Structure formats: structure tokens, C-alpha cells
């Protein structure tokens, strides 16, 4: 599952009705309150710094999460995470984690503190894994995060087996974001098989993680001197993550390495050339049938 997370500027019935029905079946009133407050104008996430995010899969809204100025606080530098809900059939795929991570990143610079209230143990574990602290001394909130003292830290760490779904989905999303209309001839299921059989068991892999969310990865065949994969989540490009992943490849293969990218992937080609890689010959990829170009890096 590879959701597209984007801002919602309206709650069209044809988009939200499925999520609303799922909430009712699950005994949750979260989406009902969201729709009701949007409809009567009480909360449309339209004040400075506020936003409502939606998670989409194949044109279907499968999750929501919002950010408000906290209505229970007297300080407009305190924000509140609101209405996190993921469709029952789409849970345990990191959708909620991605939605909350988007809210936290959006809140930085506008809010000093984030608060929220939840009575759901699973949701509480998610928030705490993302850096929120549990609080028991207030009736207005159960968790808080001090953004003023928390820097956004991207960590590179070794790949773990439990990263597989997040990494493959990121790989798929990032590849398809290279240019508008690009479509791979193989389905996502084939990518999972390729990852399991050709990459995860044979190559060195590092992932870039920010607040518990995988936002990039690189894989390399160290013995062959080949950087086989390097991808960053589309929404985190231009955040310096590619530089960190490339530096990992240079440290791991100090004698030099090769890689291939699509010939019309102009953004990546400019990135490689800015960082000292040299373009070589073109060839047709046996995987996707598209023209790729080789780049080489050698230590100076």
C-alpha cells in the first residue's frame, strides 16, 4: 500500500462517505465529527497554520489527520492534532504514521507545542513512537510534543526486516514521481518479489528515517561496486537526504561505484553531476524496457 498524502481543501461527499461509513461500522465518531464540524463551519482548518491531510490509494480516501490552533489553549503557538482516522482495512501499513508525520512537519515553525487527546491505546503507542510524551495532569490532552526544543533529525540506519513494506512502497512512489505519467510495466507485487529475492538478501541497505518514518533508502552490491537503488520519498526531496545516502555509498565503496538512472530523469542526473559523478553509456533496462544512463563515481 502506497498512500498519497496531500492537503484537503474540501470534504466532498463522494470522497469522504466511504471513510465515514467505515468509522460508523467500527464504532468511531472521529470522521463523523470531522464532517459535521466542516459542514457547519465550526472547523474547516482554515486559520493560520491549520491544515487537514488526507491519505489516498487508487483515488479512494483511506485516512485523515488535521492540525488546528488548540481551541483549549490561550496561546496560538500551541497546536492540536485532530481527527486521526485510518480505514479499518488499511491499518498496520504505516498510513497513520505518515499522516501524523506530515502534521508534525507542517507544525514546525508555526507552533511551539503540539497537543492531542486519545483514549485508544494503539493510537497512544503511535504518537509516543513519533516523539509525543504521555501526560496525565490535564483533562484537555493526553499527549504533548515540544517542537521548540525538537530539531528535525534524519537518521541513517541499517535496514531491518520490518522495514520491507515501507521501503518497497517508498521505492514505488518515488520511481513513479520521476515525471508525470511515468508508469512501470510491472505491478507493485512484482517489486515486492524483486526486493525480497534480489535486493534484501544480497545487498547492503541503509534507510533514512525521520521521527520513525522511513523517508529514503539506498542499496548497494558492495562486491560489484554498484549502487543499485537510491530513492527518497517524493515529499522529502530537496531536504538533503539524497546527499546523505550518496555519502553512505561513497563511504561503503571508497574505491568507486557505478549506478544507472533513467535517461530522462533530469533531476537525478543533475544531482549526480553536481556531486562529482560522470555520465557514461546508455542501455535499455532489462527490468522496465526503458533507456538508462550509467554514472560513475571514483575517489579523487
Domain boundaries, the chain: 4-149, 154-297
CB 69 within 8 A of CB 62: no
Q: Which of 50, 43, 73, 66 is nearest to 138 (CA)?
A: 73
Same fold, 4-149 and 154-297: yes
Residue 3: the pLDDT is 78
Per-residue pLDDT tens digits for 243-261: 999 999 999 999 999 999 9
- The pair phi, psi for residue 176, each rounded to 5°, is -75, -10
109: left (phi over 0), alpha (psi -120 to 50) or beta: left
Q: What is the pLDDT of residue 255?
A: 95
pLDDT attached to residue 149: 66
* Rounded CA separation 145/130 (Å): 9
Specify the CATH architecture of the domain 154-297.
3-Layer(aba) Sandwich (3.40)
Q: What is the pLDDT of residue 2?
A: 64
What span, in angstroms and rounded, lies between the C-alpha atoms of 14 and 134? 37
Of 34, 61, 65, nearest to 52 by C-alpha is 65
Write out residues in the chain with pLDDT < 70, as ranges: 1-2, 149-152
Q: List the Cα angle 23/28/32 in 5-degree steps.
A: 65
C-alpha separations of 184 from 58, 128, 257 in Å = 16, 37, 26
The CATH label, of 1.10.10.10, 3.20.20.70, 3.40.630.10, 3.40.630.30, for the domain at 4-149 is 3.40.630.30
pLDDT value at residue 86: 96
Amino acid at each position: 500500500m502506497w498512500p498519497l498524502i496531500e492537503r484537503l481543501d474540501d470534504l466532498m461527499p463522494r470522497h469522504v462517505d466511504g471513510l465515514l461509513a467505515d468509522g460508523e461500522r467500527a464504532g468511531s465518531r472521529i470522521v463523523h465529527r470531522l464532517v459535521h464540524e466542516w459542514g457547519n463551519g465550526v472547523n474547516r482548518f482554515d486559520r493560520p497554520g491549520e491544515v487537514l491531510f488526507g491519505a489516498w490509494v487508487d483515488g479512494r480516501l483511506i485516512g485523515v489527520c488535521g492540525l488546528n490552533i488548540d481551541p483549549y489553549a490561550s496561546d496560538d503557538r500551541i497546536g492540536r492534532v485532530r481527527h486521526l482516522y485510518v480505514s479499518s482495512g488499511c491499518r498496520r501499513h504505516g498510513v497513520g504514521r505518515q499522516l501524523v508525520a506530515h502534521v508534525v512537519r507542517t507544525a514546525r515553525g508555526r507552533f511551539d507545542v503540539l497537543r492531542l487527546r486519545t483514549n485508544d491505546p494503539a493510537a497512544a503507542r503511535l504518537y509516543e513512537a513519533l516523539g509525543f510524551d504521555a501526560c496525565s495532569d490535564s483533562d484537555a490532552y493526553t499527549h504533548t510534543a515540544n517542537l521548540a526544543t525538537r530539531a528535525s533529525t534524519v537518521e541513517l540506519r541499517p535496514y531491518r526486516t520490518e522495514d520491507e513494506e515501507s521501503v518497497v512502497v517508498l521505492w514505488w512512489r518515488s520511481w513513479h514521481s520521476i515525471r508525470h505519467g511515468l508508469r512501470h510495466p510491472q505491478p507493485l507485487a512484482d517489486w515486492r518479489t524483486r526486493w525480497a529475492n534480489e535486493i534484501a538478501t544480497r545487498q547492503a541497505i541503509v534507510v533514512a528515517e525521520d521521527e520513525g518514518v522511513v523517508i529514503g533508502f539506498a542499496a548497494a552490491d558492495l562486491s560489484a561496486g554498484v549502487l543499485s537503488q537510491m530513492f527518497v520519498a517524493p515529499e522529502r526531496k530537496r531536504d538533503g537526504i539524497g546527499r546523505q545516502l550518496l555519502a553512505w555509498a561513497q563511504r561503503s565503496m571508497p574505491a568507486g561505484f557505478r549506478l544507472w538512472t533513467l535517461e530522462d530523469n533530469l533531476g537525478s542526473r543533475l544531482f549526480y553531476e553536481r556531486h562529482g559523478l560522470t555520465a557514461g553509456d546508455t542501455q535499455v533496462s532489462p527490468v522496465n524496457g526503458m533507456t538508462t544512463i550509467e554514472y560513475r563515481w571514483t575517489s579523487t
